[in-house]
Amino acid sequence: MTYAVFESGKRLAAGDKLTVALAAQAVVNVRPSAPILIFDPDGRQVDFDLRGSPEDLAARLAPAEPEPEAPRGRGRPKLGVVAREVTLLPRHWDWLASQPGGASVALRKLVEAARREAEAPDRQRRARDAAYRFASAAAGDAPGFEAAMRALYAGDREGFEAGLEQWPADVAAHARELAEF
């Protein structure tokens, strides 16, 4: 997962949490009032506690220890199967019961087919939303912002690029990366 840190429209670093936090900390240690913005891979602005030494920062950002496994319940927990309730009309249950393998197999196949079909549009939607969140925080008052966002959601790459022309180069480049045109 790639995070990014910006100061006044210039990207200082991109990478994992620690890399980005250390770059932000280096700037803040020299200029405590520097306008630092840190973004997660989904374009959301995040805050890190930058106090202390680099070792302190690394300790705070280290991945948490995994929690012990919960007691096993019904279903097939080794496979990740979770039992939940599904409400269907009688004709749906009749159709499911007549399918090879029964209702569970038929439902899993239907869900997988729907996931595959929606994968590209879902990825595109997530990318556009990430680009919008980032651009709103990093360039919400920049010239061409509204036009760029309209073009982003219209799928108009040329319009999006035209809207980015007056933005700081690093901010525009990061918006392009997130948009995945």
- Count CB neighbours of 82 within 10 A: 10
Looking at the structure of the chain, the number of domains it has is 1
pLDDT value of residue 74: 60
User: Can you tell me whether residue 14 is helix, strand or coil?
Assistant: strand
Q: Torsions phi, psi of 66, nearest 5?
A: -65, 140
In a domain, 89, yes or no: no
Q: Is residue 80 part of a domain?
A: no
Distances (CA, A) of 34 to 7, 10, 25, 67, 137: 7, 12, 10, 38, 16
pLDDT of residue 73: 59
User: What is the chain's percent helix, strand, coil content, to nearest 5?
Assistant: 55, 10, 35
Residue 96 lies in a domain: no
Residue 154 within a domain: no
Structural domain for 3, as ranges: 1-63
Does 25 reside within a domain? Answer: yes
For residue 83, being part of any structural domain is answered with: no
pLDDT at residue 129 in the model: 97
Domain annotation covers residue 12: yes
- Using a 10 angstrom Cβ sphere, with 0-12 exposed, 13-18 middle and 19 or more buried, the burial of residue 116 is exposed
Instruction: Compute mean pLDDT per 10 residues along the chain, 181 residues long, and list them.
Output: 92 95 95 95 95 92 74 64 85 92 90 91 94 97 96 96 96 96 84
Specify if 41 maps to a domain.
yes
